[in-house]
């Protein structure tokens, strides 16, 4: 099923409003979800709406949060999210971070006590669109097996980066610190396709290609990914006085309760370093030079990081967004949710 991005936005916004979000908040959440689906990151798009709707309906997402922005220094602040929608809190916090970085050269803004915020690329792209460099990272459920470990401890703990080039050029990079994000496994389940045996392990700690058998995700590059997971949990959790490691709340445990997750935005103004134009020229030159690298045998072209999702976005804007029929049928149905997630094993099928 293909939909225009406007049609998809409208369907998701309406469903989230039916669940209880205000029109303003539902529109922002739908913006972030459409961004993900356009870029081919379907694990963070429409597939998430039913989960969000169930949590909203049951009270685990505060539909009228008391958002407050606490400046703790000229370049530092905490955005208190009051367990509102993570997408909304992260967007508003990035707005504040952009303003602070433009004034003082750099901003470090922690986001405290929120729910899941979706694809981080959305928020760092905001910074790049403002001519700034953006970095964002956040906590997630304990679903990853530490290097040499036999049980989960950290989450997929993603990191995103964006920088502006000349004109409309920008480079955007968004990654989980596991080989793949949990949402990619969910996407594979929804499509009934196998996953590579390098993504995850089963209940016995053995590599699996069955998306329905996953009981632990693997860190990227072994100990290196493990170290990055730790870094994210320190900066987005410990630094804000929030739960960390295996104490981070599960996405699916008790949807009546807020998740108390943490996130961190870092925004840098290039004008305070080499200069805005020098940096923009450097970014565009880097993008061009990477594309001109001799490709490996069997490969047409070397992409700069994130270029594949940029291409996917252009194609989806022109030709429509591919949505699984089951998800489309849910979005057009009268059902707000069908009790699919509450108190479920996070790895359950």
Question: Whole-angstrom Cα distance, residue 51 to residue 62?
Answer: 15
Q: Identify whether 116 is a catalytic site residue.
A: yes
271 Cβ contact partners less than 8 Å away, ≥ 6 residues apart: 105
Which is the catalytic residue, given 25, 116, 215, 265? 116
Q: How far is CA 282 from CA 43, 161, 224, 278, 285, in A?
A: 32, 16, 28, 6, 5
| Nearest in space to 330 (alpha carbons), one of 319, 320, 341 | 341
Task: Tell which residue, 198, 171, 172, has the closest CA to residue 184.
Answer: 198
Pairing of strands 2-3, 68-73: unpaired
Tell me the C-alpha distance between 271 and 287, whole Å: 20
Q: What is the dihedral sign for C-alpha 295, 299, 300, 305? A: negative
> What CA–CA distance (Å, rounded) separates 99 from 269?
10
Q: Which residues are catalytic?
A: 116
């Amino acid at each position: 099923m293909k939909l225009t991005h406007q049609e998809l936005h409208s369907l998701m916004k309406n469903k989230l409003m039916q669940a209880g979000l205000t029109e303003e908040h539902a529109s922002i959440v739908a913006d972030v979800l459409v961004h993900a689906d356009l870029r081919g990151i379907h694990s963070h798009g429409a597939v998430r709406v039913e989960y969000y709707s169930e949590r909203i309906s049951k009270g685990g997402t505060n539909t009228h949060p008391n958002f407050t922005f606490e400046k703790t220094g000229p370049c530092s602040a905490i955005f208190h999210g009051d367990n509102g929608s993570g997408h909304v809190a992260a967007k508003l916090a990035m707005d504040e971070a952009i303003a602070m970085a433009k004034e003082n050269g750099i901003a470090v803004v922690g986001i405290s006590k929120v729910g899941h915020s979706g694809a981080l690329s959305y928020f760092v792209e905001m910074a790049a669109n403002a001519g700034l460099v953006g970095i964002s990272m956040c906590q997630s459920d304990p679903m990853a097996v530490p290097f040499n470990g036999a049980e989960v401890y950290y989450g997929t703990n993603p990191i995103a980066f964006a920088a502006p080039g000349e004109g409309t050029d920008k480079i955007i990079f968004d990654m989980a610190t596991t080989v793949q994000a949990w949402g990619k496994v969910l996407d594979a389940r929804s499509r009934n396709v196998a996953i590579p045996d390098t993504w995850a392990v089963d209940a016995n700690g053995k590599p699996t290609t069955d998306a329905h058998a996953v009981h632990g995700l693997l860190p990227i590059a072994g100990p290196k990914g493990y170290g990055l997971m730790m870094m994210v949990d320190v900066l987005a959790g410990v630094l804000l006085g929030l739960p960390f490691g295996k104490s981070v709340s599960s996405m699916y445990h008790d949807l009546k309760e807020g998740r108390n997750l943490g996130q961190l935005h870092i925004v840098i103004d290039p004008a305070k370093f080499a200069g805005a134009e020098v940096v923009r020229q450097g970014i565009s030159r880097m993008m061009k030079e990477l594309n001109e690298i001799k490709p490996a045998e069997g490969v047409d072209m070397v992409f700069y990081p994130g270029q594949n999702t940029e291409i996917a976005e252009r194609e989806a804007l022109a030709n429509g967004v591919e949505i699984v029929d089951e998800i489309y049928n849910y979005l057009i149905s009268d059902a707000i949710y069908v009790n699919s997630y509450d108190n479920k094993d996070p790895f359950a099928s």
